[in-house]
Each structure stands twice: as structure tokens, then as C-alpha cells.
Amino acid sequence: MIDSCSPAANALLSLEQALERIRSAINSVPGSEKVTLKNALGRILAQSVYAPVNLPPDRNAAMDGYAFSSADINREHPFTLGLAGTSWAGKPFQGQLQAGQCVRIFTGAVVPEQADSVIMQEQVQADEHIIRFPANTPAGQNIRAAGEDVNRGDLLCAHPKKLTAGDIGLLASAGIHDIAVKRHLKIAFFSTGDELTPLGQALEPGKIYDSNRYSLSGLLADPNYDTVDLGVIPDNKQVLENQLVTASKTYDVIITTGGASVGEADYVKDILDSCGQVNFWKVAIKPGKPLAFGKIGSCWFFGLPGNPVAVITTFQQIVAPALRQLCGAPACKPLRLIATCTTALKKAPGRQEFLCGILTQTGSGEFYVASSGKQGSHMLSSISRANCYIVLAPECTSIRTGGTVTVEPFTLFI
């Protein structure tokens, strides 16, 4: 692809080419730590976990009722059994079930060794110590076998899984208290620009509030990241270089916003050339063409654009997959759907475009999407209203109303 904005007509990397450059360049950071299960949600497993016990540990009842032996069943006629006692959840029946006897049992309670069936309590009549069973009482029902879910020694969760709430419950059910997870990824981020004003101060002429650090703070809210906000760095090449070099000695990743374009005050690429390595600079996407990826010492660097919507888009499309790889998480692709577009769209050919959209689903399951408003890379109101990206291919020039488009939801819920 060609950069039509550059007089030198430099070739631009496609999004997939940029992602492949990153995938080829980086490996997961070394090191792990032990955490308690309560602190493990969302963390990346450093070692696979195996079951130390059967799940469930014992045969137990699937419902409240009466446990009995099928040897006592009268297949065609009603019959009665004597009540020998009760098996409670957590307090099993202590005796031995004899022929002609049954045990009152509750959901989750251990089934006596001599019993092989449980009947629902609503299907019998209890008369003190005599229980009356109906004709055609089924045998072998309503009992959960020991190890029915997981056998001792089975794999519970495989490295490098990112632990979900379901995983946490499974591990807890096996009695696992703590686990080994990948260590935190140490990330520093800051904004650049003389025009940026901290929140809480009055704006002077020509100044704007710094929103990018707040967006990045939200985007980096992940239990696998240990983040530090280094504030705002002015448009001073030496100050910026000093900050980058100093930070690179402490952190695994540095993320900056602004200063990655071609203006006279945009120093990021020159600094990387002098004190680090530039892997690529500029990607054929919109918003977010000026994006630098490189390395300073052993620290990875991402120089994002200055426009706030471009910061969010490039982070989600390029930086987030790289951070997951550095954490050792398995590779994954964003969910994309086909939807009917209810807004006519136009674009210039050449770059893959991510427009902010509002995705809806009908009761019968069809997806519809509309533009969320004006699409300038400086217009945060549009992405604030949006719940998805409308993804337009580089060669696309327009979408008519009623045409189909690819959409990428921000979350799994709309």
C-alpha cells in the first residue's frame, strides 16, 4: 500500500502485516509468581493444573429423595421399604443399608454403598418409618458418580489459559488454593505535547485537556498488567529521549501518545532511530496511520498517534494483541459479524478503516449497524456512543444503505 499523504509515496504496512511483524519480533516475558485463587481471575496460567481429587469426590444424590437398592424393587407393583436413617449433605448415613430398607437423602449427600438408586421425594408417600414406592419405580437414577465430572489426575486447566470465573470455580472445587501465573507485565505510558493541560486547571488559548492518558488507563485495566502513568512530556526532544531511555530500564513496555507523526515537533521516530530500533512506522489503517513500533534496550515501545480516537483504535487493533502475546496468553482474533448497514458510508481507497458504529440485533437474530456520528479521529463523542467498529476493507469506497458490512463488537453484549 502507498502513503498518499507522503511526497515520497512510502509504502505502508497493512494491519495484518504490522501484526505479523509484531508476532515475529516478540516473545512472552519470563517469570511467574504464585497467587491465591481469589486473586487469580484473569491471570495467565504459567503451569497446567491437574485434579488432585475426583470431582465429585463421592457418589452423591442429584436431588432430594430416598436412596435404595434396585434389588428391592417390585417392577410392576407398588412396594414399601423401611426407613433406616438419613444422609445429609456433609453428614453421610453412618449405618449399613439392609435388604428392604431405604435412606432419606438430600441433594449432594453421599449415597450409601449398598444403594444404587434415588427416587424423587415427590414420587413416594412417607408414613413415619415406612416409605411407599409406586409401581414402575425406575432403577439406577439420580445418582452422580464419583469422578463423573473429573477424575483424579485429569487436566483441569491448561497453560497458558487466561482464567475465567468458571475456571476459578473448577479449581476451587478441586481444593486448589494457589496457582502459578505469569508475572505482571510492567507497562509505563505517557502523553507528549506542549498543548496538553492537566485536568483541574483552566484552559489557556490553544490548549486542550489531556484525554489520552485516561483512555489508556482504562484500556490497560487488566489484572496481568502493572501500569504506571508517567504524565505529560513536553515537545522537547532531549527531555523525551531522557524519559524513554530511563523508563526502558525499568519497564517491559512503554506506550506513548503523540509525537509519532511527521511534524517538526514529532520526535519519536528520530529518538528510536538514535537510541533504539524501529521495526515499523506507519500502518495503512484509519484512524491511526502514524504508529511506531520498536525497542529500546530490552523494552518494547509503541508510539501511538495523538488524536484520541486513533489512540483507542490503534491500541485495540495493534497494541492489545502484542500485550497478550507478551503475557504469554494464547493468540486470539476479534469477533467479527456481518450486519446490514442502515447508514450510507463513504471512504477513500487505500487504508483499512474502522468507523464507530452502533450495532443492534432483532428478536429473530438479524444484525443491523449504523454510524454513531461524525467520524473524525479527534471526536471522542462518536466512540463514546459506539458499541462496535464498522470495518471497511482498504479497497472499499462506499457502502450503500442496506448493504452488508463487517462489524467488530466492543463487547459480547449489545
pLDDT in tens, 349-389: 999 999 999 999 999 999 999 999 999 999 999 999 999 99
- Quote the distance between the C-alpha of residue 93 and its chain's center: 45
The set of cell numbers assigned to 356 is: 464507530
pLDDT (mean) for 258-274: 69
d(CA 213, CA 232): 9
d(CA 355, CA 406): 11
The set of cell numbers assigned to 130 is: 415406612
Multiple choice CATH, 60-144, 2.40.440.10, 3.90.1150.10, 2.170.190.11, 3.30.420.40: 2.170.190.11
Query: Which is it for strands 337-341 and 367-371: parallel, antiparallel or unpaired?
Result: parallel
Confidence of residue 264 (pLDDT cuts 50, 70, 90): very low
pTM of the model: 0.88
17 vs 1, 147, 284, 315, CA distance in Å? 11, 47, 10, 16
Tell me the fold of 15-31+184-326: Molybdenum Cofactor Biosythetic Enzyme; Chain A (3.40.980)
66 vs 12, 117, 120, 132, 377, CA distance in Å? 73, 8, 7, 11, 67
Give the pLDDT score at 9: 39
pLDDT in tens, 121-147: 999 999 989 999 999 999 999 999 999
d(CA 388, CA 411): 8
Tell me the fold of 32-55+148-182: Molybdopterin biosynthesis moea protein, domain 2 (3.90.105)
Q: Which CATH architecture has domain 337-409?
A: Beta Barrel (2.40)
pLDDT (mean) for 247-275: 80
The answer, yes or no, to whether residue 6 has pLDDT greater than 50, is no
Amino acid occupying residue 329: A
The set of cell numbers assigned to 44 is: 495467565
Burial of 275 (0-12, 13-18, 19+ CB in 10 A): middle
Q: Domain spans of the chain?
A: 15-31+184-326, 32-55+148-182, 60-144, 337-409
